[in-house]
Amino acid sequence: MERALVLGGGGVTGIAWELGLLAGLAERGLAVSDADLVVGTSAGALVGALVCSEVPLQRLYEAQLTPPRGKAAARLGWVALARLAWAGGRTRDAVRARARIGAMAVSARTPSEASQRAVIEARLPVREWPARRLLVTAVDASSGEFVVFDSDSGVSLVDAVGASCAVPGVWPPVTIGERRYVDGGMRSTVNADLAAGAERVLVIAPTSGAFGPMPRLSAQVAGLRLAGARVAVVTPDAAARTAIGRNMLDPARRMGSARAGWAQAAAVADEVATLWE
């Protein structure tokens, strides 16, 4: 496998920033979304499904520039963040920490599964798994097991993406068969290590923080490089961080985040070209 594109989590604004960045790179002749492997976590799972569809990147970017039409901002507030940190940080056992986060997610008051599934479905213009290899991450809410869905998993793309986007305490866990799943970002906000085996890896990460026993992005990148891969990591620059703001779930910041991603593409194009071409 030659090239892998890894798309990390980051909420509504992370989706917009990633699509802006990818469209800006494509405008400069860098079609990184044509990677042999696409890895998507949380917001990155939705972006991954979008860029593997037949919809042009420019159109996906322009869709981020439309007004949110009165959509209320969800919020992963300080209380929810504290609960996440408390649940996931009381043990060095990563699987146990994720199971505790899953239990918190199951007990939280959230919108219904059906309503959230309709939201994910509406955001996916193509609802079949792409021919290109796409990996979508999630976590089993009961066992804490890290799960990777692909076209061979027997799981619909809508459910896989919905599970990966199921932020604990904000959105409901997604039921697939007899199991319930939460955000793949509870294992790692990026899960860059899933690109192992690729010769060149581009990581696009709206956020790269970690807590408790969660693996750090820096360690995952170091592991890829130790295995012989060339890796470049793109995170939001100062202007993009300002556009994104403190609440990554606020649709009112979507347009600014998308434009910031588009603008940042000019600054990182040379680095990406050196890696990709």
Task: Confirm if 83 and 77 have CB atoms less than 8 A apart.
Answer: no
> What is the C-alpha to C-alpha distance for residues 100 and 84, in angstroms, rounded to an integer?
9
Q: Is the torsion defined by CA of 4, 66, 24, 233 positive or negative?
A: negative
156 has catalytic annotation: no
Task: Confirm if 227 and 192 have CB atoms less than 8 A apart.
Answer: no
Q: What's the Cα-to-Cα distance from 114 to each of 25, 118, 159, 192, rounded to whole Å? A: 36, 6, 11, 30
Beta carbons within 8 Å of 181's beta carbon, 6+ residues apart: 138, 139, 140, 141, 147, 163, 166, 173, 174, 175
List strand residue ranges (DSSP E) for the chain, in order: 3-7, 37-40, 133-140, 146-149, 174-176, 179-183, 200-204, 230-234
Coil, strand, or helix at residue 219?
helix
183 has catalytic annotation: yes
Question: Which backbone phi and psi does 200 adopt, to 5 degrees?
Answer: -135, 130
Coil, strand, or helix at residue 129?
coil
Residue tagged active-site, from 33, 53, 159, 183: 183
Residue tagged active-site, from 42, 164, 188, 257: 42
> What is the C-alpha to C-alpha distance for residues 64 and 108, in angstroms, rounded to an integer?
30
Residue type, position 55, single letter: V
Active site positions, annotated? 42, 183
